């Protein structure tokens, strides 16, 4: 069975239900399915390693328990529509204008493809975006008096993206779970790829040092020294020889590690034995006014209390997420998008 299907089967058990089951337990059959999905994705040759399931199993079980705890805290979906922007505090905070809502829906190739291949009237989809907080000086009312240049913090959201459209919330959760599992496998494979790149870099370094050493040996006691009065290069030769030996030793050690399948299992375990370090879901509470400024909880200034969820997966991938429902009728016609692009000269 392709690893994509295996990941989907695992995700259906972890994310496909609002009742995630016993968080502390990881059924042996589920662990085995997850192991095979990971091995297929990273390197099927790992099956030739004796006891590979036994080696990978504990980390996979740990990850399953962690993902179950995440699934229990996933936010409920909200309706996303242009007409809801003015009355929904969360949508108002996530989008600068009401027109940004249909613009996002129309620009999503995944959402448009979903509606084109199905007869569904609506869809549940995951909305991801980046949250930016910036310190500024702006007018503000302090103790009932308008004051200028008060230090404040703006909160804005950008790089909106819709992923994993599905017919309902349960199916969307499952698709998102599949993406998370694939991402974890990708992180393990990235470590293995980095090792291969390290080998290539060391090999190039080794060749460059060897060529430089040959050049210095040719120069030593040669006519070039007599003509240019160059100092003896013995010291430089000795330094290059030391560096070359160190590079060769590191190259041999790294190449040996790269060729060992058990080392690849170690890289898998480095990810799956510590899932909380690589995937997490944090709750973020914010109070913001209509202008997008953060407001302290103990003030009387009119503001909205937002409950956000921030998903982190690996280094550099962090996004505020929200499950949203959208109706087919909210999707702008494809022609209007083309016309708008032509009008803008894009």
Looking up tokens 């505090």 gives 89
Output 327 or 291, whichever has higher pLDDT: 327
**Where do the structural domains in the chain lie, given as residue ranges?**
1-192+278-346, 193-272
Q: Which H/E stretch holds residue 305?
A: strand 304-313
pLDDT digits (tens, 9 = 90+) for 119-178: 999 999 999 999 999 988 877 666 666 677 778 888 999 999 999 999 999 999 999 999
pTM, entire model:
0.75
What would the pLDDT profile of 183-193 be if each residue is shown by its tens digit? 999 999 888 88
> For residues 187 and 59, what is the distance between their CA atoms, to the nearest angstrom?
14
CA angle 231, 233, 237 (to 5 degrees): 165
- Give the per-residue pLDDT at 185: 92
The C-alpha atoms of residue 191 and residue 197 are separated, in whole angstroms, by: 10
- Look up residue 316 and give its DSSP letter: T
Tell me the torsion sign for CA atoms 96, 99, 104, 105: positive
What is the rounded average pLDDT for all residues in the chain? Answer: 84
Q: What is the pLDDT of residue 19?
A: 47
Q: Is 119 left (phi over 0), alpha (psi -120 to 50) or beta?
A: alpha
Greater model confidence, 312 or 224: 312
Question: What element of type H or E holds 14?
Answer: helix 3-15
Higher pLDDT, 253 or 76: 76
């Amino acid at each position: 069975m392709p690893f994509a299907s295996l990941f989907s089967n695992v995700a259906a058990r972890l994310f496909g239900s609002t009742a995630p089951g016993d968080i502390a337990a990881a059924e042996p059959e589920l662990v085995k399915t997850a192991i095979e999905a990971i091995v297929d994705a990273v390197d099927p040759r790992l099956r030739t390693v004796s006891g590979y399931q036994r080696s990978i199993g504990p980390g996979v079980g740990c990850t399953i328990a962690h993902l179950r705890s995440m699934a229990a805290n996933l936010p409920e979906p909200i309706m996303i529509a242009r007409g809801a922007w003015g009355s929904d505090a969360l949508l108002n905070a996530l989008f600068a204008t009401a027109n940004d809502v249909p613009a996002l829906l129309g620009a999503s190739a995944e959402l448009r493809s979903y509606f084109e291949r199905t007869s569904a009237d609506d869809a549940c989809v995951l909305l991801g975006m980046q949250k930016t907080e910036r310190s500024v000086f702006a007018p503000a009312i302090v103790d009932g008096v308008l004051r200028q240049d008060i230090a404040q913090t703006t909160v804005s959201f950008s790089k909106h993206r819709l992923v994993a459209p599905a017919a309902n919330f349960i199916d969307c959760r499952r698709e998102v779970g599949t993406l998370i599992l694939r991402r974890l496998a990708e992180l393990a494979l990235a470590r293995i790829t980095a090792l291969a790149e390290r080998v290539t870099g060391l090999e190039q370094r080794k060749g460059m040092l060897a060529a430089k050493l040959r050049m210095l040996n040719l120069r030593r006691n040669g006519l070039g020294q007599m003509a240019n009065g160059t100092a003896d290069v013995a010291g430089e030769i000795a330094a290059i020889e030391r560096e070359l030996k160190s590079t060769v030793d590191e190259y041999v050690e790294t190449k040996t590690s790269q060729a060992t399948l058990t080392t690849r299992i170690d890289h898998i375990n480095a990810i799956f034995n510590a899932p909380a370090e690589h995937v997490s879901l944090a709750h973020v509470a914010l109070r913001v006014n209509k202008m997008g400024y953060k407001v302290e909880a103990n003030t009387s200034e009119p503001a909205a209390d937002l409950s956000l969820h921030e998903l982190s997966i690996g280094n550099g991938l962090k996004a505020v997420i929200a499950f949203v429902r959208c109706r087919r009728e909210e999707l702008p016609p494809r022609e209007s998008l083309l016309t708008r692009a032509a009008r803008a000269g894009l």
